[in-house]
Structure 1
């Protein structure tokens, strides 16, 4: 797994690397733009929503939401990623820290219309995901929603098929969502598939 220094080193080329993977429809970012586009649509329907972004990276999605009038809060553990995102969103409330160890105090004191996480929660184990999502549900306003876009599969069989196809390129340090298994903890969660390795999990508060 990349630590915060690793992400700092990758930050300047991150968007380009992701874009190439998406255009080539290759693991792990095949469907990336479609996932982010869908989240953008869902958030903007609300209009001027208050959004918390977990692991926002360079702000690819949140910068668009910011431009659309949303109030942006976020946490990321890469100082360089935050620097790049802040340049795009000078009025956003962005905090540095490893979300797997907890969220910043100011973030926990607020409530949000949407909590989004794109390609970030795969750094958590399955049990950590459940605990973290439970924490996030407590930060939602009434009628709010959690939107998780990531490498995700409908079933364990689909994940294993992808692993076999990818071969040595598979990242063993990342732990991906399996929708059927996530349903056991969150029966109301919904799943929308965008590619053979990308999907959107949504949970209403």
Structure 2
């Protein structure tokens, strides 16, 4: 896993690196634009939605939400990422902090219509994902949704096949989502596949 310093060093070239993988339709960012576009479309169904983005990076998605009237909140552990995002979203509520240790206190002070994480929550173990998702669901307004766009597979065998094909490009430090396994904790979750290695997980607050 990249540490804070690693993400700071990578920040300026992050969007370019993602684009190269996305355009080539290769792991890990095959389907990236479709993932972000699907989440954007879902959020746009609600006018002036309050959105919390966990690990927002340079603000690729949240900037579009911000420009379309959303009330944007976010946490990222890279100060450089925050600086780049703040240039695009000067009035957004952006905080520095390692979400693997929880959210900063300010983000617990309100409820959100949507909480999202795109290509960030794979840094958590499967056990921590479940606990964190439960915590985030408590921060949603009634009818709110948790939207996760990431490297996702329906089954463990599909993950293993992608790992074999990726070879040395596979990131052993990242722990990807397996829908069959995540459904044991969240049987109500919905999944929309966007490529052979990506998709959108949606969990609504009951």
- C-alpha distance in 2, partners of 1:194/1:141? 27
TM-score (norm 2): 0.99
Aligned partner of 1:110 in structure 2 is 110
Could you say which residue in structure 2 is the equivalent of 1:127? 127
| Secondary structure class of the residue paired with 2:184 | helix
Matches within 5 A, 1:1-205: 1-205=1-205
How big is the shift at 1:110? 1.0
TM-score normalized with structure 1 length: 0.99
Alpha-carbon deviation of 1:140? 0.1
Gaps in structure 2 of 5+ consecutive residues: none
Look up the SS of the partner of 1:185 in the other structure.
Answer: coil
* Cα displacement (A) at 1:169: 1.0
- DSSP 3-state at the match of 1:184: coil
Counterparts of 1:115 and 1:4 in 2: how far apart (Å)? 22
Q: Partners in 2 of 1:154 and 1:109 — Cα distance?
A: 35
Deviation at 1:89, TM superposition (A): 0.4
Structure 2 counterpart SS, 1:61: helix
Q: What does the per-residue CA deviation read over 1:136-161, in whole Å, with 9 as the maximum and x for residues that have no partner?
A: 00000010000000000001111011
Runs of 4+ in 1 over 6 A off after TM superposition: none
How many angstroms apart in 1 are the aligned matches of 2:198 and 2:61? 16
Q: Offset at 1:168?
A: 1.2
Task: Structure 1: state its 5+ residue gaps.
Answer: none
Q: Secondary structure at the match of 1:131?
A: helix
Instruction: State how many pairs are aligned.
Output: 205
Partners of 2:47 and 2:196 in 1: CA distance = 31
CA displacement at 1:15 relative to structure 2: 0.4
